[in-house]
């Protein structure tokens, strides 16, 4: 029985023809394992993962290996991008068995979901110090049948250890002094020779864009207390733009480089990285980098539906052979006759939210209507397909097939922030209203903050939890994304209760974030904004007027260019920042505000900024 052919994940569809009798993630697989009294094999990856493809070709497409799996296990295939909570929970558990975490992630659990062994990639034949995957399967099967009590004790002990790993939060958000110290600590880790941050000193150390921490370093609140921090971010961006990590033909940046000097990339191009790089580049005035990443999102990733695809693969077929990065090694003329690497066309709600926010900002700052229209198109597509009539979000969709995966805090927060940014860029209050509704849906009457539904239902039923505070990876974590959305709503005048939501989320993560700032850049960026009064700039009148053009170049927490009618509508929608904002005597007028207290309005560009 083929259970993956109509999945809402390209990654699962890639495995639909495997001889392995895969189940998608859900309670049915665990119930079947209970019925058969066999362990569960959970294989987690994503469609643009190179080593996931390798393990698929070596093992999951092999009839003999598949027979071993089908005989002794119930096998589940998981797209980590579709089920991030599942991925996070099993990564935490896998860390008890291996330091080399990554994907493919291969996890063995009891029928009740307790993890008792895990690893990543295992080859088809033993090599490089790794056992053959078939030998791993045999050993796990032997342990299950011969040492069942030991296996179950291991699983239960690990589950209890993870459940007890939650660290207490702080009594208050970090002070500006604490944030500046964190920024200086991150800046001190800069690779002074090649820019950015490497995992080690050798040339073979991989290097990632680390967008959230670059944005933290560029915070205006840190300009005096950590004056060198923004330059660290700027140098990293310029180094990436001038390196092999950047695609000069179609724009955008690859996932990471395998060497410290940003050479020998892994060639997949991700929505999360490139959306974040738009914002990071605008933060430090690198307009060409922002424009380049934005055109990749619009020209390559945006789908006919308007939604923006999750990623583009690293592999393509050239001269009949599979090539890793060969397409990207060619110039525009050389690519013209080639089939581009496949897109993962999955429309992930939160990731589209990040892209909507970045494109809306790029459209406004760079004066490029194409980016703004792309943001609007993406927002409308996500709201139409990934939002149910009951107001509940889903994590993703593919070809308008909506995933069964529940939306996470990242989805609610990411989409809310994107919609609010779009409302401020277009003056359309409906987007702001929907943004507020999404944040409100995550805050219960008793103040508890969680995604509606309380998380993945299978993990909840099994009592499986994640350990500690989630970190910010290529994109903000769920708490960071929701905190950023709540912060932006407060800055736009939606009310102090939204600041309280942001403060609650920041306090919960503050000790972990200050202890490891390079892993919590998005959370610390919100904390930095909370440490100072917001800077808000509203221009009412002609968006093409010289005053409006000057305003576009000013960096502030809120920059809105609206007509008098739009200002009135935004105020009526509950954004008090826009109350009383008019075009004086019919002339384009700017209101420069700090902490909701505005200077006298000006109509002369020379009086602004």
Residues 513-536 pLDDT 10s: 999 999 999 999 999 999 999 999
CATH code of 417's domain: 1.50.10.10
CATH code of 155's domain: 3.40.30.10
pLDDT at 257 over 70: yes
- How many CA atoms lie within 13 Å of 306's alpha carbon, on the beta-carbon side? 19
pLDDT at 389 over 90: no
pLDDT at 295 over 90: yes
* Sign of the C-alpha dihedral computed for residues 224, 225, 227 and 230 taken in this order: negative
Rg (CA), the chain: 25
- How many CA atoms lie within 13 Å of 139's alpha carbon, on the beta-carbon side? 10
- Average of per-residue pLDDT across 265-289: 97
**Are 522 and 541 found together in one domain?**
no
- How many CA atoms lie within 13 Å of 223's alpha carbon, on the beta-carbon side? 8
Residue 320 falls within a domain, yes or no?
no
Final residue before a domain boundary, out of 113, 139, 163: 163
* Sign of the C-alpha dihedral computed for residues 562, 567, 573 and 574 taken in this order: positive
- Average of per-residue pLDDT across 566-574: 97
**Are 258 and 154 found together in one domain?**
no
- Average of per-residue pLDDT across 427-441: 97
Q: Are 475 and 418 in contact (CB under 8 A)?
A: no
pLDDT tens sequence across 479-498 = 999 999 999 999 999 999 99
Q: What are phi and psi of 544, to 5 degrees?
A: -95, 0
Residue 257 falls within a domain, yes or no?
yes
544 Cβ contact list (under 8 Å, min separation 6): none
Final residue before a domain boundary, out of 499, 514, 530: 530
How far, in Å, CA of 246 to CA of 209, rounded?
Answer: 11
Residue 331, number of CB atoms within 10 A of its CB: 9
Residue 137 falls within a domain, yes or no?
yes
Domains: count for the chain = 3
Per-residue pLDDT band at 223 (split at 50, 70, 90): very high
305 Cβ contact list (under 8 Å, min separation 6): 347, 381, 385, 400
- pLDDT, position 455: 87
Residue 261 falls within a domain, yes or no?
yes
Adjacency order of strands within the sheet including 311-312: 269-270, 311-312, 343-344
Q: Which domain holds residue 45?
A: 10-163
Q: Are 402 and 393 in contact (CB under 8 A)?
A: no
How far, in Å, CA of 574 to CA of 123, rounded?
Answer: 58
- Higher pLDDT pick, 1 / 34: 34
| 392: its two tokens | 């509940």
- Average of per-residue pLDDT across 334-355: 96
Residue 467 falls within a domain, yes or no?
yes
**Are 381 and 500 found together in one domain?**
yes
- pLDDT, position 400: 84
- pLDDT, position 160: 86
- Average of per-residue pLDDT across 345-360: 98
**Are 144 and 203 found together in one domain?**
no
How far, in Å, CA of 409 to CA of 537, rounded?
Answer: 29
- pLDDT, position 1: 66
How far, in Å, CA of 105 to CA of 83, rounded?
Answer: 13
**Are 520 and 540 found together in one domain?**
no
**Are 419 and 567 found together in one domain?**
no
- Give the end-to-end CA distance of the chain in Å, rounded to a whole number: 66
497 Cβ contact list (under 8 Å, min separation 6): none
**Are 521 and 555 found together in one domain?**
no
**Are 480 and 362 found together in one domain?**
yes
Per-position b or e across 531-550, b if 16+ CB within 10 A of its CB: beebbbbbbbbebebebbeb
Q: 198 has which bridge partners?
A: 207
Final residue before a domain boundary, out of 104, 138, 163: 163
**Are 553 and 526 found together in one domain?**
no
**Are 156 and 186 found together in one domain?**
no
- How many CA atoms lie within 13 Å of 210's alpha carbon, on the beta-carbon side? 30
* CA-wise closest residue to 512 among 169, 99, 216, 110: 169
How far, in Å, CA of 65 to CA of 138, rounded?
Answer: 11
Q: 108 has which bridge partners?
A: 41, 117
Q: 602 has which bridge partners?
A: 590
157 Cβ contact list (under 8 Å, min separation 6): none
Residue 559, number of CB atoms within 10 A of its CB: 20
| 520: its two tokens | 């919590």
How far, in Å, CA of 375 to CA of 113, rounded?
Answer: 40
- Average of per-residue pLDDT across 108-113: 96
**Are 137 and 244 found together in one domain?**
no
pLDDT tens sequence across 540-551 = 999 999 999 999
pLDDT tens sequence across 392-401 = 899 999 998 9
pLDDT at 339 over 80: yes
**Are 384 and 496 found together in one domain?**
yes
Residue 443 falls within a domain, yes or no?
yes
Per-residue pLDDT band at 124 (split at 50, 70, 90): very high
Chain position carrying tokens 């993890």? 115
When the pLDDT of each residue in the chain is averaged and rounded to a whole number, the result is: 95
Residue 599 falls within a domain, yes or no?
yes
- Average of per-residue pLDDT across 183-211: 92
pLDDT tens sequence across 43-58 = 999 999 989 999 999 9
Burial of 177 (0-12, 13-18, 19+ CB in 10 A): exposed
pLDDT at 609 over 80: no
- pLDDT, position 126: 94
Residue 336 falls within a domain, yes or no?
no
- pLDDT, position 407: 96
* CA-wise closest residue to 518 among 212, 267, 80, 248: 212
The percent of residues in the chain predicted with pLDDT above 90, rounded, is 90
Q: Are 231 and 286 in contact (CB under 8 A)?
A: no
How far, in Å, CA of 340 to CA of 338, rounded?
Answer: 6
């Amino acid at each position: 029985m083929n259970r993956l052919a109509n999945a809402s994940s390209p990654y699962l569809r890639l495995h639909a023809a495997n001889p392995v009798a895969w189940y998608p993630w859900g309670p049915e697989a665990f119930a079947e394992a209970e019925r058969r009294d066999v362990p569960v094999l959970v294989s987690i990856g994503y469609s643009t993962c190179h080593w996931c493809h390798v393990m698929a070709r070596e093992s999951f497409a092999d009839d003999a290996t598949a027979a071993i799996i089908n005989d002794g296990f119930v096998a589940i295939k998981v797209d980590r991008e579709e089920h991030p909570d599942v991925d996070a929970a099993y990564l935490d558990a896998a860390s008890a068995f291996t330091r080399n975490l990554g994907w493919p992630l291969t996890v063995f659990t009891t029928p009740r979901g307790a993890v008792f062994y895990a690893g990543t990639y295992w080859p088809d034949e033993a090599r490089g110090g790794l056992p053959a995957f078939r030998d791993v399967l045999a050993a796990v099967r032997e342990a299950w049948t011969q040492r069942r009590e030991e296996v179950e004790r291991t699983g239960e002990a690990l589950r209890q250890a993870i459940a007890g790993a939650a660290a207490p939060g702080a009594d208050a958000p970090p002070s500006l002094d604490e944030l500046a110290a964190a920024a200086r600590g991150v800046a001190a880790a800069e690779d002074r020779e090649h820019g950015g941050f490497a995992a080690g000193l050798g040339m073979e150390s991989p290097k990632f864009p680390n967008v959230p921490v670059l944005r933290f370093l560029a915070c205006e609140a840190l300009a005096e207390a950590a004056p060198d921090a923004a330059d660290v971010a700027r140098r990293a961006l310029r180094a990436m733009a001038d390196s092999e990590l950047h695609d000069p033909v179609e724009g955008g940046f690859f996932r990471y480089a395998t060497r410290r000097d940003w050479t020998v990339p892994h060639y997949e191009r991700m929505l999360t990285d490139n959306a974040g790089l738009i914002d990071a580049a605008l933060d430090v005035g690198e307009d060409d980098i922002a424009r380049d990443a934005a055109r990749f999102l619009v020209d390559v990733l945006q789908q006919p539906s308007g939604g923006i695809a999750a990623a583009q693969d690293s592999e393509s077929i050239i001269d009949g052979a599979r090539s890793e990065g060969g397409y990207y090694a060619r110039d525009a003329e050389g690519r013209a006759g080639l089939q581009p690497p496949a897109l993962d066309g999955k429309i992930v709600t939160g990731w589209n939210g990040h892209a909507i926010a970045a494109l809306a900002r790029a459209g406004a700052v760079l004066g490029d209507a194409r980016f703004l229209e792309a943001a609007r198109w993406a927002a409308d597509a996500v709201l139409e397909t990934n939002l149910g009539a009951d107001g509940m979000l889903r994590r993703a969709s593919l070809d308008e097939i909506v995933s069964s995966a529940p939306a996470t805090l990242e989805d609610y927060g990411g989409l809310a922030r994107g919609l609010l940014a779009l409302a401020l860029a277009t003056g359309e209050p409906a987007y702001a209203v929907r943004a507020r509704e999404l944040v409100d849906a995550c805050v219960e009457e008793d103040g508890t903050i969680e995604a509606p539904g309380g998380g993945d239902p299978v993990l909840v039923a099994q009592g499986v939890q994640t350990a500690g505070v989630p970190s910010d990876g290529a994109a903000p974590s769920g708490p960071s994304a929701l905190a950023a959305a709540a912060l932006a709503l407060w800055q736009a005048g939606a009310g102090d209760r939204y600041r309280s939501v942001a403060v609650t989320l920041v306090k919960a993560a503050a000790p972990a974030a200050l202890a490891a700032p390079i892993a919590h850049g998005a959370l610390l960026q919100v904390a930095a904004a909370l440490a100072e009064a917001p800077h808000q700039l509203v221009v009412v009148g002609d968006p093409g007027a010289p005053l409006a053009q000057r305003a576009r170049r000013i960096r502030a927490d809120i920059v809105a260019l609206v007509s008098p009618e739009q200002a009135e509508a935004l105020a009526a929608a509950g954004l008090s920042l826009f109350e009383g904002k008019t075009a004086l005597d019919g002339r384009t007028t700017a209101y420069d505000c700090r902490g909701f207290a505005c200077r006298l309005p000006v109509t002369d560009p020379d009086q602004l900024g």
